[in-house]
């Protein structure tokens, strides 16, 4: 073991309805002005609540007959719109089924079947636009008040000491969580020589974080995390200014002697050294600053729309390079002024953003290009209680408190920068647990989310790995061990997985709230809420009670249970008795963590 050169003390899822064989004739005008409006209202309500009324082939088939009988080819769109909320929905199969319905005759199924099944599923469509708007507002309010979990309090005492100090002055679970995530993300930009091997590739520690909540929810505290690394930024700026002054002197001398001595070499303009890279920037400007800082940098913006506006502009759309930097992929650009082609190899960019849900939508209107899946999202719960503004007791205020921590981290940063690279590794047992955990999580969300969310689950893997790397690096501040290879401690591994367990739920919430004009948000994800409502051990009656609470038809709930069992998320122990495997898994993680704490 190397000699300690950094002293830890140096820093502070219905029956078929019987209907007449010959329905009452309707004139074209009646269909167009009354029925069409009514059908749109009902289907609109189904879409608002993402309810599946097509469960079971017989229901699905009869709904096709109903739309074909009432609307002919025009009913195809209605058939698709209600079919897509079934987990087995396939556009091609839906078209083929409707073609069969159009060719059928004398089925006796009319549009009354649709209204019957809709009402059985709890759909009571509003009669006018005002009532429809009220329904929409109610649904949106229900989404807003959904309480999301915070990190278990038990992890704080087992964090590296530096992070314990970061979260110490906080006054709520949400505040503690955002300060921990904010610190990890800002610090992730300051370990240029820390690395690990993930999926066969060498990876650094850089993270992307977006803390979102309505205005005045308390996300502003996140700004203190900037003070943790501000001393590093200041020192880099001072170095840049010194180099600039030296350049000016050398350039002046060159201008005086270039005519007398043509062989005199023109001095090279020094790079702009800095840690904080402004988000409100041109594409070339951002890439130039990254290049000047050897591909390293931190974007820290308290208003997420600053970056959103830059991406929307012609001159500042550096989204492609931004996404590449997350995976250290080479960024190439052309400098017109110097007519120079530049490659930024192995870029390591970290990003801290905060803003309202609308600002998330402005930056990430959909999940197609992969930007969403690169971010850690934390959605702050709203607490309608006046905060004791005198609760935090610090001698000179929070700025001074976090500045002092920043000064301590500066010394640690210099120590690591002046020593050989350090590789963080997982033990064989940790690797097995890591793969088992993410395999189960991926299976779970393949069954309750759209395919676009799977990219988030997979990138959560590398995010978990990076968080564990950061925990491991900060342990060096306590023991001074700077060996070139360091194994992650079990407590840090378990804390990283525990944090990811919560962050996946927060990301799912933000994902479901993406703009309504994309296919991603037509689902309010009753599957996910249903699975989460099930206890560790439960009976058929238990899950039917949960379904009733969530206004899920019994048949739909039974279909969900069948799929969950098939996917391994739920285990059928005996007839009518079940075991929720996902809860068992989380419990196992907690037990392992507690064991590791007791053995310390």
CA distance to 54, 220, 386, per residue, from 168 (Å): 52, 17, 21
Asked if 498 and 155 touch (Cβ cutoff 8 Å), the reply is: yes
Close Cβ partners of 367 (under 8 Å, ≥ 6 residues apart): 373, 452, 453, 455, 456, 511, 514, 520
Q: pLDDT tens, 387-413?
A: 666 656 666 778 899 999 999 999 999
Average pLDDT of the chain to the nearest whole number: 82
Average pLDDT over residues 189-201: 95
Q: What per-residue confidence (pLDDT) applies to 391?
A: 58
Q: How confident is the model at residue 17 (pLDDT cuts 50, 70, 90)?
A: very low
Q: How confident is the model at residue 166 (pLDDT cuts 50, 70, 90)?
A: very high
pLDDT: is 467 or 141 the higher one? Answer: 467
Q: How confident is the model at residue 199 (pLDDT cuts 50, 70, 90)?
A: very high
Close Cβ partners of 409 (under 8 Å, ≥ 6 residues apart): 11, 162, 187, 190, 228, 229, 231, 232
Q: What per-residue confidence (pLDDT) applies to 37?
A: 59
Q: What per-residue confidence (pLDDT) applies to 574?
A: 77
Q: How confident is the model at residue 217 (pLDDT cuts 50, 70, 90)?
A: low
Q: What per-residue confidence (pLDDT) applies to 200?
A: 94
CA distance to 214, 404, 421, per residue, from 170 (Å): 19, 17, 34
Is the pLDDT confidence value at 215 over 90?
A: no
Is the pLDDT confidence value at 518 over 50?
A: no
Close Cβ partners of 426 (under 8 Å, ≥ 6 residues apart): 434, 468, 487, 488, 493
Residue indicated by tokens 């087992």: 158
Average pLDDT over residues 307-324: 86
CA 549 to CA 431: how far, in whole Å? Answer: 39
Asked if 70 and 111 touch (Cβ cutoff 8 Å), the reply is: yes
Q: In which element (H, E) is residue 511 found?
A: helix 490-512
Q: What per-residue confidence (pLDDT) applies to 501?
A: 94
Q: pLDDT tens, 41-63?
A: 888 888 877 788 887 888 888 89
The torsion angles phi and psi of 452, rounded to 5 degrees, stand at -65, -20
Q: What per-residue confidence (pLDDT) applies to 137?
A: 54
Q: What per-residue confidence (pLDDT) applies to 19?
A: 33
Any idea what DSSP says for residue 276?
A: B
Q: What per-residue confidence (pLDDT) applies to 131?
A: 55
| Global pTM value | 0.69
Residue indicated by tokens 């309480």: 147
pLDDT: is 17 or 434 the higher one? Answer: 434
Is the pLDDT confidence value at 29 over 80?
A: no
DSSP-H helix ranges across 258-282: none
Out of 194-198, 379-383, 550-554, least confident range: 379-383
Out of 74-83, 199-208, 225-234, 393-402, least confident range: 393-402
340-344 vs 331-335, strand pairing mode: antiparallel
Average pLDDT over residues 207-218: 83
525-528 long-range contacts (CB < 8 A, ≥24 apart) are 525/50, 525/448, 525/449, 526/50, 526/51, 526/550, 526/552, 527/87, 527/447, 527/448, 527/560, 528/448, 528/449
Any idea what DSSP says for residue 196?
A: E
Is the pLDDT confidence value at 104 over 90?
A: no
Average pLDDT over residues 428-444: 93
Q: What per-residue confidence (pLDDT) applies to 141?
A: 47
Residue-range domains of the chain with CATH = 28-145 (no CATH), 238-273 (no CATH), 524-598 (1.10.10)
Strands (E), 401-522: 422-425, 485-487
Average pLDDT over residues 152-177: 93
pLDDT: is 31 or 65 the higher one? Answer: 65
Close Cβ partners of 525 (under 8 Å, ≥ 6 residues apart): 50, 448, 449, 508, 512
Is the pLDDT confidence value at 226 over 90?
A: yes
Question: Percentage of the chain with pLDDT > 70?
Answer: 81
Average pLDDT over residues 490-497: 97
CA 522 to CA 215: how far, in whole Å? Answer: 25
Q: How confident is the model at residue 312 (pLDDT cuts 50, 70, 90)?
A: confident
Q: Is 170 helix (H, G, I), strand (E, B) or coil?
A: coil
Token pair for 520: 């991603």
Largest CA distance in the chain: 107
Asked if 153 and 502 touch (Cβ cutoff 8 Å), the reply is: no
Is the pLDDT confidence value at 266 over 90?
A: no
Q: What per-residue confidence (pLDDT) applies to 468?
A: 98
Q: How confident is the model at residue 368 (pLDDT cuts 50, 70, 90)?
A: confident
């Amino acid at each position: 073991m190397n000699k300690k050169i950094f002293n830890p003390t140096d820093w502070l899822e219905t029956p078929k309805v019987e209907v007449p064989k010959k329905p009452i004739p309707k004139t074209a005008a009646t269909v167009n002005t009354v029925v069409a409006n009514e059908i749109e209202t009902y289907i609109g309500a189904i879409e608002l609540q993402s309810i599946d009324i097509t469960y079971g082939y017989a229901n699905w088939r009869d709904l096709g007959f109903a739309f074909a009988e009432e609307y002919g080819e025009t009913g195809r769109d209605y058939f698709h719109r209600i079919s897509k909320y079934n987990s087995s929905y396939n556009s091609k199969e839906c078209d083929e089924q409707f073609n069969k319905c159009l060719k059928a005759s004398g089925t006796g199924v009319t549009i009354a079947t649709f209204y019957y099944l809709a009402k059985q599923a709890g759909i009571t469509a509003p009669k006018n636009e005002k009532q429809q708007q009220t329904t929409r507002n109610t649904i949106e309010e229900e989404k807003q008040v959904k309480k999301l979990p915070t990190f278990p309090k038990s992890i704080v005492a087992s964090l590296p000491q530096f992070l314990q100090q970061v979260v110490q002055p906080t006054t709520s679970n949400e505040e503690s969580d955002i300060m921990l995530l904010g610190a990890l993300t800002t610090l992730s930009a300051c370990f240029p020589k820390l690395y690990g091997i993930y999926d066969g590739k060498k990876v650094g520690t850089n993270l992307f974080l977006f803390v979102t909540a309505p205005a005045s929810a308390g996300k502003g505290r996140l700004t203190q995390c900037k003070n943790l690394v501000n001393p590093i930024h200041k020192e880099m700026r001072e170095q840049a200014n010194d180099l600039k002054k030296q350049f000016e002197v050398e350039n002046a001398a060159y201008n005086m002697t270039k005519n007398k001595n043509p062989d005199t070499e023109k001095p090279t303009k020094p790079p702009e050294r800095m840690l904080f890279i402004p988000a409100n920037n041109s594409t070339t400007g951002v890439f130039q600053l990254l290049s000047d800082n050897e591909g390293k940098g931190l974007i820290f913006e308290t208003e997420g729309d600053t970056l959103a506006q830059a991406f929307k502009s012609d001159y500042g759309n550096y989204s492609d390079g931004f996404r590449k930097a997350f995976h250290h992929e080479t960024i190439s650009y052309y400098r017109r002024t110097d007519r120079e082609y530049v490659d930024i190899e192995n870029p390591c960019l970290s990003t801290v953003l905060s803003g309202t849900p609308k600002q998330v939508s402005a930056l990430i209107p959909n999940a197609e290009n992969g930007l969403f899946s690169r971010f850690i999202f934390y959605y702050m719960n709203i607490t309608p209680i006046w905060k004791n503004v005198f609760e935090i007791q610090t001698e000179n205020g929070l700025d001074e408190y976090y500045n002092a921590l920043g000064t301590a981290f500066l010394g640690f940063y210099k120590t690591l920068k002046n020593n050989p690279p350090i590789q963080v590794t997982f033990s064989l047992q940790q690797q097995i647990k890591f793969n088992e955990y993410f395999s189960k999580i991926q299976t779970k969300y393949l069954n309750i989310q759209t395919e676009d969310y799977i990219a988030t689950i997979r990138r959560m893997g590398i995010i978990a790995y990076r968080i564990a790397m950061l925990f491991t690096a900060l342990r060096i501040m306590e023991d001074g061990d700077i060996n070139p290879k360091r194994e992650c401690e079990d407590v840090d591994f378990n804390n990283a997985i525990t944090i990811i367990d919560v962050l996946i739920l927060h990301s799912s919430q933000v994902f479901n709230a993406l703009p309504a004009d994309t296919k991603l948000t037509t689902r309010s994800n009753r599957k996910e809420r249903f699975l989460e409502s099930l206890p560790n051990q439960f009976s058929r009656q238990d899950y039917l009670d949960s379904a009733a609470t969530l206004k899920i038809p019994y048949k739909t709930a039974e279909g969900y249970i069948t799929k969950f069992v098939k996917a391994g998320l739920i285990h059928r122990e005996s007839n009518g008795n079940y075991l929720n495997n996902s809860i068992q898994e989380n419990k196992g993680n907690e037990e392992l963590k507690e064991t590791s704490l007791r053995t310390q």
